[in-house]
């Protein structure tokens, strides 16, 4: 039976199974050059955004933290730099990305569990974590609502969700941002990572992702309370938060 084309891969409308395969191919292809490309494309800004995420997330001394779609582990590492007593689980659906993250964690001297898992079906018990973070991962998920439901389930009462994701830029800057994104980013991908298409997907997927207010509604719809968002760099990215009570 033919599956319904009811999701997106960038601007393309496809079915859910195809999306998982295509997203997985993108991250297999970009894994080795992921950090280099992140630094080039954001001109280093992604480190600042991640630092802001860490600094604005206050937690108890021995909190248990789930870093979802953690890839090359920047967020896990920053949390451990802030407090070596945090118990962090570094997780991702993609083995190539998880391996790159593991190498980096070991090089930094951080020995924490790295687990291959899908955010839409988390292998953890109910009420297990004090905090769940996702950095630039939600946009790539096939069923975002299902992932948010799973996160809600594994968070303990009082636990918080923190999402760092591309968002909608302040309209006066849209034109110049679009020109940079569509004209320059795929070319950088071609030049430095020999992969233009993955970076074309990146640019398109950002445009297809829900804006700040829609994402806030989605988070609320699965039960999160005291939800909020903070725009960074005029809305290029935003940090969304919500609590389970
Ligand atoms: C852009 S990278 C972000 C990596 C890292 N968090 C960062 O901020 O640099 C997105 C990651 O999301 C992961 N991902 C996509 N779909 C996922 C899913 N359903 N469950 C878990 N991870 C997923 C990809 O494998 C990829 O490593």
Q: Which CATH superfamily is domain 7-243 in?
A: Vaccinia Virus protein VP39 (3.40.50.150)
2, pLDDT greater than 70: no
**Is the minimum distance from the CB of 27 to ligand 1 under 6 angstroms?**
yes
23, pLDDT greater than 70: yes
- Ligand 1: residue of 90, 93, 149 to mutate (most ligand atoms within 8 A of CB) is 93
For residue range 42-85, list pLDDT tens digits in order. 999 999 999 999 999 999 999 999 999 999 999 999 999 999 99
Q: What's the rounded Cα separation, in Å, for the pair 203 and 198?
A: 9
- Ligand 1: residue of 91, 98, 140, 189 to mutate (most ligand atoms within 8 A of CB) is 140
**Nearest atom in ligand 1 to 164's CA:** 8
The reported pLDDT for the residue numbered 108 is 96
Q: What is the pTM of this model?
A: 0.96
For residue range 138-153, list pLDDT tens digits in order. 999 999 999 999 999 9
C-beta of residue 121 within 8 angstroms of C-beta of residue 145:
no
Domain ranges of the chain: 7-243
Q: What's the rounded Cα separation, in Å, for the pair 22 and 59?
A: 36
Q: Report percent pLDDT > 70 for the chain.
A: 99
In our burial notation (b when 16+ CB lie closer than 10 A, e otherwise), range 100-139 reads bbbebbeeeebebebeebbbbebebeeebbbbbbbbbbbb
C-beta of residue 92 within 8 angstroms of C-beta of residue 123:
no
pLDDT confidence tier of residue 17, bands split at 50, 70 and 90: confident
Q: What's the rounded Cα separation, in Å, for the pair 128 and 244?
A: 12
**Is the minimum distance from the CB of 120 to ligand 1 under 6 angstroms?**
yes
């Amino acid at each position: 039976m033919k599956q319904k084309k009811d999701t997106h891969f960038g601007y393309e409308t496809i079915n859910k199974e195809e999306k998982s395969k295509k997203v997985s191919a993108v991250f297999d292809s970009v894994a080795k050059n992921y950090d280099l490309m992140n630094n080039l494309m954001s001109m280093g800004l992604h480190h600042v955004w991640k630092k802001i995420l860490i600094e604005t997330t206050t937690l108890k001394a021995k909190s248990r933290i789930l870093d979802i779609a953690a890839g090359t582990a920047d967020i896990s590492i920053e949390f451990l730099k802030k407090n070596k007593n945090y118990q962090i689980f570094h997780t991702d659906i993609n083995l190539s990305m998880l391996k790159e993250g593991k190498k980096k964690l070991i090089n930094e001297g951080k020995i924490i569990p790295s687990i291959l898992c899908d955010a839409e079906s988390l292998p953890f018990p109910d009420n297990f974590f004090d905090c769940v973070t996702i950095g630039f991962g939600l946009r790539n998920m096939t069923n975002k609502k299902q992932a948010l439901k799973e996160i809600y389930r594994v968070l303990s009462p009082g636990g918080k969700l923190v999402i760092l994701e591309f968002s909608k830029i302040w309209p006066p800057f849209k034109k110049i941002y679009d020109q940079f994104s569509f004209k320059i980013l795929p070319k950088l991908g071609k030049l430095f990572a020999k992969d233009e298409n993955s970076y074309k997907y990146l640019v398109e997927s950002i445009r297809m992702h829900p804006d700040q207010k829609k994402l806030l509604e989605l988070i609320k719809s699965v039960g999160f309370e005291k939800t909020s968002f903070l725009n960074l760099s005029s809305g290029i990215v935003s940090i969304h938060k919500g609590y389970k009570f």
